[in-house]
Structure formats: C-alpha cells, structure tokens
Amino acid sequence: MSKSEKIRALAKQGRTVSEIASELGISYQFAYNVCQKAGLLAGVDRRIEPRPTPKKPPLLVERLCSGGFSLAGNVTHSVRGITMPSLPREPGVYAYAWKGVVHYLGVASRSLSQRLYGYCRPGPTQRTNQRMNTLLLETLDEGVLIELYYATPPDLIWNGFPISGCVGLEHGLISSFNLPLNIRGA
C-alpha cells in the first residue's frame, strides 16, 4: 500500500491530518494535500495540534553577571522621558532587568549608546523602540527599579569565517532562557 493510500485509509477512519502525519512519519502538508485531492477534508479535523515547547528557565541577573555582563546603571524617568545610563560606543549585548530577572535582551551591532538612545526617543516607524519605550515607562511609573546590563564580547574566527560575538551571544541567550519581553525570540 502506498503512503497516499495509507493516508486516504486513515482519513476515512476519521483520523485528523495531524494524527495521520504523526503516525506515518510524514509532513502535515503532504497528508493534508492527499486528503484535499481525495475530497476527504470535509470529515477530517484539520486542526494542527501544537507541539509542546520545552519550558525555558528565567535568566537571573546573578547568572548574567557571572557570565561577564556588567551593570551600566539604572534606567530613569524624567520630565523628558527615559534616560539611560552611560554606555560604550561599541557593539554589544544589553539586558533590561528588574527584581533580579532579565526581562528583555537585545544586540547593538554598531554602538550600545546609539542603540539604546532609540528606546528613549523612538521614531514613528521604529515599532520595537516604541513598544519598549512604553513598557519601560509603565514599569518605571509602577515604581520598579530597572537595571541595564551590557557585555561587549569579542568577534571570533571559526575555520576562517568571521563570527559576531555579540549576535552569537544574543542568539544563545534568547534560545536558552525565558525572556518575557522578547517577542520574536531567536
């Protein structure tokens, strides 16, 4: 019996497309296409059952500092808006933390000070800067102390290829830890 025949037989038994794909070890799209061409989708539940995602631990400030990050200072709220502590004019990774937990992590591929200025005075098309500006102001208005940490890891060469230490560090941390304000992830 071919895979397509097996798919049709399982669909006629009332199995979902997800169940068929899982049982036969094939892609959801392949199973869906076979069922669609055979006119079997009317009786088949087409919901994609989400795969469970492994729970990531929070990134604690203690762990961040033991990994080489430095405290730049506190983010403050003045009449003019958000004020950032002084930061280097070099590439780096930065993290906003409060209550001992990192809530947002980002990378500045050119200059930390220039990147973080964008959160203080976001432009009309800078959606991430606008979102973070609002979240930071709301958090500060609640009386929460926001700390800003940073690291400036060196770039590396791997088998003759350049590797950005900043981008690699940001990706690794976002992939490994739960950072509630990082929407897109790594």
Burial class (CB in 10 A: 0-12, 13-18, 19+), 143: exposed
| Edge-to-edge order in the sheet of strand 81-83 | 81-83, 70-78, 146-151, 92-98, 101-108
Of all helices (H) and strands (E), which one includes residue 20?
helix 17-24
| Residue pLDDT tens, the chain, 186 long | 898 999 999 988 888 888 888 889 888 888 888 888 888 876 555 455 555 666 899 999 999 999 999 999 999 988 888 989 999 999 999 999 999 999 999 999 999 999 988 888 888 898 888 988 898 999 999 999 999 999 999 999 999 999 999 999 999 999 999 998 887 755
pLDDT at 78: 82
Task: Yes or no: say if 38 and 11 are a contact pair by the CB < 8 Å rule.
Answer: yes
* Residue pointed to by tokens 């729970």: 55
The rounded distance, in Å, linking the Cα atoms of 97 and 103 is 6
pLDDT attached to residue 47: 54
At residue 155, the pLDDT reads 93
pTM score: 0.70
